[in-house]
Amino acid sequence: MDRRKFLKATGVAGIAGLAGCSGGPTESGSTATEESAESTSESTEAETTQESTASADSEVNVGMVYALGGLGDKSFNDAAKRGIERAESELNVSYNEGQPSAAEEFPTFQRRFAQSQNPDYDLVCCIGFAQKSALQETSKNFPDQKFMLVDEQIERDNVASYVFKEEQGSFLVGHLAGLLTNQQFEAGAGSTSGDSKKVGFVGGFEVPLIQKFQAGFTAGVEHADENIEVTSAFAGSFSDSAQGKEIATSMYEDGADIVYHAAGGTGLGVFQAAQEQGKFAIGVDSDQSQTDPNYADVILASMVKRVETAVYTSVENVAEDSYNGGELTTLGLEQDGVACVYGQELGSEIPEDVKSSVAESRQAIIDGDISVPTEPQ
């Protein structure tokens, strides 16, 4: 019968096709380690790579609970992941990870790691301020479990809190944007007109944390020139790149030369808009010209927030038995917790005098000569 032939043919073709696929497990052998190093270096493949599941033979087991944007945001969560990957390769650490898709899932994920016996997690890393209220409950219910929290503070002996001075780094990129929008500047796929005095800011949510970015950026722009107008908008999401693109496009069409985003995955849309409009953008959290090389020709700089440092340090502390539970660690410009990192492709084309005045204001902030506001005026 026809049907039977068809089924047979598709079956055979399917299996032959699968066999031809380039991926699949590298068969158990001596080349396994080489191959795995190779595959993780390619970011696209690394996403589909099977995660190293925490195992009993490692010294330290870490559970990672990511923020809502999820892995692949090329920004906040990916930075945290870099931290744990570094810990994995440098300290005898294995880890397991979870990506909640709604705020109500935070307690489930945190508890899941906290109550696990096999493996027994030595540290649970909670990435992002949104996990605070869930972690307050969880850390109370599991007093013997060590936690770490990024971007918020919980005063309990089993929680190590890490916060950043985002306003300081944002001030620097604001200063950079202000200096560049005032002059004729062309590099990569973008250019500034020189005559319009406008820059933009796109935030994820209008919450105090993101307002710190906004306040620092605005202050930095004003530091360069008081007459430059900063338009700000909030996308209402950390993972809606379409919305980000829409907002940024209208800003560029409105005359803005440079848009800075603090919106996680939403920011990818800002880069797309910059490319289409031939303007510039400034990345956040990671060096986005490196994490997202497709947009390196429009990313002037990134306000790097070294979430990886926080993650790595906390794991290192646990590994060395010097866990600092109950303490708040603040990472600013001085500790290199935040920084203005120039784009891989465009960085070399930014005029030296601009770079040196940004470096000057960096020193001034560290010395306390400039105080950066944390709330928008």
Partner 1 sequence: MSAGTDARRTVESLLRRLVALSGVERLLISLAALVLAILVGAGIILTSGRVATCTQAAAVYFGLGFCYDPLEVYFVLFNGAFGQPFNPGIMAGNLVNPTWSPFTGPLTFTGPLLTTALFTAGWNPLNFSVALTLKETTLLIFTGLSVAVAFRAGLFNIGTQGQLVVGGLVTALVVGSLVPVLPGGLAGALLLVPVGVLSGAVAGGLYAAIPGALKAYADANEVITTIMLNFIAAQLAFVAVSEFFRNPESQVVETAPLPGYATLSSVVFPQGSDFSLFALAFALVLVGVIWFFLERTSYGYDLRTSGIQPEAAEYGGVDAKRTVVTSMMFSGALGGIGGAVWVLMVMGKWQTGVPALGFDGITVSILAGNNPLGTIPAALLFGTLKSGSLAVQFETGVPKQLVGVLRGLIILFVAMPEFFRAIGTNVVDLDADDSKAVATDGGVTGGDDE
Q: Residues in the site for partner 1, rule: CB under 8 A?
A: 14-15, 18-19, 21-28, 32-33, 35-36, 39, 45, 47-51, 53, 68, 96, 98-99, 101-105, 107-109, 111-112, 115, 129-130, 132-133, 137-138, 141, 151-152, 205-209, 236
Burial pattern 42-68, b for ≥16 Cβ within 10 A else e, equals eeeeeeeeeebebeeebebbbbbbbbb
Contact indicator for 326, 160 with CB cutoff of 8 Å = yes
Contact indicator for 166, 144 with CB cutoff of 8 Å = no
CB of 14 to partner 1, least distance (A): 8
Q: Tokens at residue 114, please?
A: 């906290």
Q: Which is nearer to partner 1, 23 or 368 (CB)?
A: 23
Q: What's the DSSP call for residue 118? A: S
Q: Which is nearer to partner 1, 111 or 355 (CB)?
A: 111
Widest CA span in the chain:
86
CB of 149 to partner 1, least distance (A): 12
Q: Which is nearer to partner 1, 14 or 351 (CB)?
A: 14
Q: Which is nearer to partner 1, 103 or 359 (CB)?
A: 103
Q: Is the peptide bond before 119 cis (omega within 30 degrees of 0)?
A: yes
Q: Which is nearer to partner 1, 202 or 258 (CB)?
A: 202
Q: Which is nearer to partner 1, 35 or 253 (CB)?
A: 35
C-alpha 295/C-alpha 186 separation (Å) is 16
CB of 340 to partner 1, least distance (A): 24
Burial class (CB in 10 A: 0-12, 13-18, 19+), 200: buried
| HEC readout, 186-212 | EECCEEECCCCCEEEEEECCCCHHHHH
Compute the C-alpha angle 200/79/306, nearest 5°. Answer: 75
Beta strands in 134-193 (DSSP E): 147-150, 159-164, 185-187, 190-192
Q: Which is nearer to partner 1, 83 or 119 (CB)?
A: 119
C-alpha 102/C-alpha 20 separation (Å) is 38
CB of 255 to partner 1, least distance (A): 27
CB of 22 to partner 1, least distance (A): 8
Q: Which is nearer to partner 1, 21 or 56 (CB)?
A: 21
Burial pattern 114-129, b for ≥16 Cβ within 10 A else e, equals bebeebebbbbbbbbb
CB of 332 to partner 1, least distance (A): 19
Q: Which is nearer to partner 1, 50 or 348 (CB)?
A: 50
- Give how far Cα 134 sits from Cα of 31, 108, 156, 177, 262, Å: 43, 9, 14, 38, 23
CB of 267 to partner 1, least distance (A): 19
Sole residue written with tokens 């930095």: 220
Compute the C-alpha angle 298/300/302, nearest 5°. Answer: 115
Strands 338-342 and 299-305: antiparallel
CB of 365 to partner 1, least distance (A): 23
- Give how far Cα 101 sits from Cα of 11, 66, 106, 108, 258, Å: 36, 10, 9, 11, 32
CB of 303 to partner 1, least distance (A): 18
Q: Which is nearer to partner 1, 179 or 209 (CB)?
A: 209
CB of 200 to partner 1, least distance (A): 21
